[in-house]
Amino acid sequence: MTSLPTEMTTTAPWQWPEETWRREVNRVRAGRKLVHGNPARRWPNAAKCAVLISYDSDHETPYLRDGQTSPGSLAQGEYGSRSAVPRILEMLARHEVPTSFYVPAVSALLHPQDIDAYVAGGHEVAVHGWIHERNTQLPYEAELDLMGRAADTLEKLSGTRPIGIRTPSWDFSHSTLHVIKELGLVYDSSLMADDEPYELDADGTPTGIIEIPVEWIRDDAPYFMMDRFGGLRPHLSPYEVERIWIDEFEAAYTAGSMFELTLHPHISGHRSRLAMVDRLLSHIRSFDNIWFGTHADLARHIVDMTPGSTTDLPSGRS
């Protein structure tokens, strides 16, 4: 774990001098917006609204990360690959929606057939940690090693080097941005400072890293997670969550903006919840001038539209 300055461990936050809290705020900060001002060039294909669907294929890894190896827990994760992924891929193919799959390396090694299926479907495979570790609990060296091995594993299994990352549980440590730069990744999708892509700044300095922001409102886990030995229970029906996401999409469409959705096979791959996502995609498809793409596709578009960019990206659909 990254060590904290002495004044942060010996004094209460309300006692910190201004230089301390300013330094902490500025470690990783939202920099310039990266979408073009010209409506015809903001999104690929001159679309009015960009829609990005993503799945975090965690499967068994959150349980393994916490040392939970009971067959009951692991079976919940196994469902994500065994039952949910085939249904999800059929639905995505039917709606013609290219999707980003963020895959922990251990999940990929347990279920290499998933990676084959994602690639065959024309989807993106991107970094999501080694075993869904918590980055804020790791020293820099361990975080770099795990993320590096994860990228190598996904490249070996998918045949393509990942260009993007989503940190497990969106857990972004003081070292994570340095790890992203060290690995040569082009974009991150773990932070929440805007509704649209922006550049990440480190200590006030632009890094060139694209942030494609997420939000817990547009994630299935807060609504549907379940812990049989704790107080965590699903608290909304699929229809209620669908209404929230429809409102989020329609507001993005009206603004000519971006709608990004984060799902999990072992959570939203169950039949009633898959039907929810199916209806949502049908609703979005009923609107004119929508662009569906992967996070990597959008990153390529941003690089192409950014004057002076020297980032070398593999070609893609956009």
Copy the structure tokens of residue 179: 């790890």
What is the domain range of residue 140? 27-305
- Tell me, yes or no, whether 270 lies in a domain: yes
pLDDT by residue (tens digit) across 23-32? 999 999 999 9
Residue 5 lies in a domain: no
Q: What pLDDT is recorded for position 10?
A: 80
Residue at 4 is within a domain: no
pTM above 0.85, yes or no: yes
In terms of Cβ atoms closer than 10 Å to its own Cβ (0-12, 13-18, 19+), residue 217 is middle
Tell me, what's the pLDDT at 40?
Answer: 86
Mean pLDDT across the chain? 94
What pLDDT digit, counting tens, does each position of 263-282 carry?
999 999 999 999 999 999 99
For 177-192, write each residue's pLDDT tens digit. 999 999 999 999 999 9
Q: Domain for residue 2, yes or no?
A: no
In the predicted model, what is the mean pLDDT of residues 141-145?
98
Asked if residue 62 lies in contact with residue 132, where contact means CB atoms within 8 angstroms, the answer is: yes
Residue 8 lies inside a defined structural domain of this protein: no
Let me know if residue 70 belongs to a domain. yes
Q: Is residue 204 part of a domain?
A: yes
CATH number for the domain spanning 268: value is 3.20.20.370
Which bin fits 159, alpha (ψ -120 to 50), beta or left (φ > 0)? left
Q: What mean pLDDT is predicted for residues 244-267?
A: 98
Output the CA angle 244-247-251, nearest 5 degrees. Answer: 145
Q: What gap in Å lies between CA 111 and CA 160, rounded to an integer? A: 17
Mean pLDDT lowest for which of 6-10, 46-50, 86-90? 6-10
| pLDDT cut 70: percent of the chain above it | 94
Number of domains in the chain: 1
Average pLDDT of the residues in 235-255: 97
Q: Is residue 231 part of a domain?
A: yes
